[in-house]
Chain A
Amino acid sequence: MKKELKFVVNGESYDLWVEPNTLLVQVLRDELGLKGTKWSCDSGSCCACAVILDGRVVKSCSIFALQANGKEVLTIEGLANGPELHPIQQAFIDNWAFQCGFCTSGQIMAAKALLDENPKPTREEIQLAMDGHLCRCTGYNMISEAIQDAAKRLQA
């Protein structure tokens, strides 16, 4: 039996009716058409589906959509300011911090959550924050450098 889901996504309010067994990632991708958040693993092990829920980065594949009722979600689509990229997005581009790009949305959202909480993270703190994110392309080091670069840009 469907239940009401009232929440805000990327600043816009939505009022939907969803089955309780619907995951947050399904609502975002299939109902709202926000395909930037990806789905890769079926077992909560890769964080490709990471979004920011009430200011905290979470795995949208491991949360029922109804648990986001009354809350605010930020996805990759909500990060840029119109045509202007967010400094984290620009830092990822400038530092070649993605290759195939499939894990990138999740990585950027986690980086945002990290830098919101800790504007000057050490390399070790970055690694701890990004540990849940699986990437098969980059070998991770360039991602860490992009986040350090983003931190500098946000401080400026």
Chain B
Amino acid sequence: MKSVISDFEYFTPNTVEEALKLLSQYNEEECKIIAGGQSLIILMKQRLLTPKYLIDIKGISDLDYIKLDGKQGLKIGALATHRAIEKSPVIRNGFSVLAEMEQNVSSVETRNWGTIGGNVSHGDPSGDPAPVLIALNAKLKMTSLSGERIIDAEDFTLDYFETALRHDELLTEIQVPTLPPNTGVKFTKFSQIIGDYALASVGVLVTLDEKKEICSDARIALGAVGTAPMRAKKAEEILKGKRISDDLLAEAGQVASEESSPTTDVEASEEYKRNLVRVLVKRVGGEALERAKKA
């Protein structure tokens, strides 16, 4: 067997600045960033991507960190590997939903080398991290030679494999705010084979009032059922300001399934995926609620 990957020129910058300078030298069509390459290399093998220049940022150790700031929350460097997030005690204690999600991303082998920044920048509508970050109300920091931009996770992925990143920008940090009290977050992805690419994935955040009776905030994020991961805002409204019951969760599921826009593919039909959204939002919402009650 041989590799069919086309030739390219290869750079290994050591700092963010070096990387950004290189990015600005080449135009968008001919130049790509590689971190862990776990998604990129597959596309290059299929000749869907044939960049002439590859900028390898995996060696930029400044971007590989997981820090907890008491007030500001969690800060994850873009080059933190899936595995590091999965195993991080800081994340397991305070933001366990991230570790749970990472545990089912592909295989250990992929998680050991692939990075969360690489995954999110790829803009894959069925990627697992994005819906969780949306549910957590995370923010993404993008750095260029002219400065930094910070945007909401839900505004980051625009379309099928297209993100808000400009060509001269690098995703450098993911910021997850401290969870409000009485908050529970849960994420589940559904596939025929456990751990496989999601047919549909759902992340739900539920915040309850001081008495833990009324839902003061709900965030419902859907993955793999649109051209980008999305928030089911109408479904959220069903839950907000109310006491969440099983019937309400079922209703939210129904509304979310109508908000989603899955497509039929080799594995499953649009109708089936919509049904999945309905069932998952109901179930995952219920589990988030239980976590909020115990929080």
| Interface positions of A (Cβ within 8 A of B) | 1, 3, 19-23, 26, 39, 42-44, 47, 50, 53, 56-59, 62-64, 66-67, 69, 110, 113-114, 128-129, 131-133
Contacts and interface: CB of A to CB of B under 8 A. Distances in A.
Given A64-B37, A64-B41, A131-B195, A26 B3 contact: yes
Contacts of B106: 132
16 contacts: A20-B54, A22-B3, A26-B3, A43-B42, A44-B38, A56-B83, A57-B108, A57-B112, A62-B38, A62-B110, A63-B41, A63-B113, A66-B12, A110-B109, A113-B108, A132-B108
A1 B9 contact: yes
B194 interface: yes
Contacts of A59: 38, 109-110, 113
Which of B103, B106, B107 has its CB near the most chain A CB atoms (within 10 A)? B107
DSSP majority for the A interface?
Answer: mixed
A110 B42 CA distance: 21
A131 B10 contact: no
Interface in B29-43: 34, 37-38, 41-42
A62 B108 CA distance: 13
Contacts of B41: 23, 44, 62-64
B266 interface: no
Nearest to B38: A62
Contacts of A56: 83, 112-113
A110 B108 contact: yes
Interface residues of B, number: 30
Contacts of B234: none
B61 interface: no
A143 B107 CA distance: 17
Contacts of A39: 1
B16 to A, nearest CB: 18
A20 B108 contact: no
Contacts of A128: 103, 108
B37 A131 contact: no
A129 B38 CA distance: 18
Contact of A62 (B2, B7, B113): B113
A116 to B, nearest CB: 12
Contacts of A42: 1, 45
B6 A21 contact: yes
A50 B109 contact: yes
Interface string B1-25: 1110111111010000000000000
B6 A129 contact: no
Given A64-B10, A129-B108, 14 more contacts: A1-B9, A19-B7, A20-B54, A21-B3, A21-B8, A23-B5, A26-B3, A44-B38, A58-B109, A62-B109, A64-B56, A132-B106, A132-B107, A132-B108
Give the 10 A-B residue pairs with the shortest CB-CB distance, closest first: A132-B107, A20-B10, A56-B112, A21-B5, A59-B109, A58-B113, A39-B1, A62-B41, A23-B3, A132-B109
Contact of A20 (B9, B38, B58): B9
Contacts of A133: 107
Contacts of B83: 56
